[in-house]
Amino acid sequence: MTNFNLLQQSKNFINDYSNTEIFTYHDGLVGIDRTLPKQRKIRLPQIDKIINASFMASDGVTIATRIYLPVTTKQKLPLIIYYHGGGWVIGDLDYMDGGCQYLAMHSEAIVISIDYRLAPEHPYPIPQNDAYEGFLWAVENHLQLPIDSTKVGVAGDSAGGNLAAAVAVRALEENGPKIHKQLLIYPALDATKIYPSYEEFGHGLGLDADEMHQYYEHYVQKNEQLQHPYISPKLFTQKELLPETIIVAAEYDVLNDEGIEYINELEQAGVVAEHFILPGLIHSFFSKMNYFEQQTNDATALLADFFRR
């Protein structure tokens, strides 16, 4: 790590959580520690309301959501549906609460965070179905929020970025509501390939390469499914149909190279796409208010600027 020009906040986070073991194995059984990094709760004055709500999935299970309404004088607001990260295995609404507040503030949009079910208890396609059904529920606006349905975005970090990108593909394939833009934070986009960034940044930088492989193993039970674009959105072949897309990434992250390739492929297909790599940061920086509040603010400002255009 001595060759990496890490921000002090990144060093502090690594020092505090480098020995955390999410997965343990005993007698063929896996244990998962879902204890999340401590979060300092915030309440931005630019957020008018935070509403806890829910919808019923197609299999009858209630899925929690959280809605963020910014202070504004506008009669109608754009909508952003957000999916938290955590390797499809950990994470919840509180995990991304601060980041969602900043995103709503900067974008002047209603942000709805979807608390999809987690693997391995609920493997693919359950989290993806929850993500898509949450997207439909949000756009259908059952709560009669002041939503401008002509400007809808999907967003997420890491595994949540994967779900957001997969929702964009599925909305096309199922003739769903039009998605205006994708706002992705270091997304997982390709489960079929080991990229050079896995080797370069694969240990001790917020997300280890081995850990990422374990997340995929618990999320996807059949290897042949890894090539499906709902799991590997980068493999979707009709990229010219996808929404305008931004990726905000950390400098030291195993997922960097697939994000760079995805953006390049979108641009080659004629899709407006932008890519930002924030210096000195590691995977998992987003929404960690104890360590990275300023960087979360900066990241959401970039996302919001792109979304508002």
User: Could you read off the pLDDT of 139-179 as tens digits, one per residue?
Assistant: 999 999 999 999 999 999 999 999 999 999 999 999 999 99
Mean pLDDT of the 258-286 span: 98
CATH of 8-308 given 2.60.40.3080, 3.40.50.1820, 3.20.10.10, 3.30.70.520: 3.40.50.1820
User: Closest Cα partner for 13 from 174, 268, 252?
Assistant: 252
Cβ-count burial 200-235 (b if 16+ within 10 Å, e if not): bbbeebbbbbebbebbbbbbbeeeebbebbbbbbbb
Looking at 10, 107, 113, 158, which residue is catalytic? 158
Q: Does 1 score more than 60 pLDDT?
A: no
N-to-C CA span, the chain = 38
Backbone dihedral angles phi then psi of residue 29, each to the nearest 5 degrees: -105, 145
* pLDDT > 70: percent of the chain: 99
Other Cβ atoms within 10 Å of 22 Cβ, number? 17
Listed in order, strand segments (DSSP E) in 57-171 are 62-70, 77-83, 110-114, 147-157
Other Cβ atoms within 10 Å of 27 Cβ, number? 4
Tokens of 23: 């997965």
Q: Is the peptide bond before 125 cis (omega within 30 degrees of 0)?
A: yes
Query: pLDDT band at residue 187, thresholds of 50, 70 and 90?
Result: very high
Residue 158: C-alpha distances to residues 28, 35, 40 (Å): 28, 18, 21
Q: Is the peptide bond before 120 cis (omega within 30 degrees of 0)?
A: yes
Q: What is residue 35's three-state secondary structure?
A: coil
Query: pLDDT band at residue 30, thresholds of 50, 70 and 90?
Result: confident
| Predicted confidence (pLDDT) per residue in 103-117, tens digit | 999 999 999 999 999
Query: pLDDT band at residue 35, thresholds of 50, 70 and 90?
Result: confident
Question: Catalytic annotation on 283?
Answer: yes
Look-up: residue for tokens 């991304």? Answer: 96
Looking at 130, 157, 190, 253, which residue is catalytic? 253
Looking at 107, 283, 284, 287, which residue is catalytic? 283
Q: How far apart are CA 136 and CA 119, in angstroms?
A: 22
* Dihedral of the alpha carbons of 74, 185, 172, 224, in degrees to the nearest 10: -160
Q: How far apart are CA 61 and CA 71, in angstroms?
A: 32
Q: What is residue 165's three-state secondary structure?
A: helix
Question: Catalytic annotation on 158?
Answer: yes
Q: 25-34, 40-49, 245-254: lowest mean pLDDT where? A: 25-34
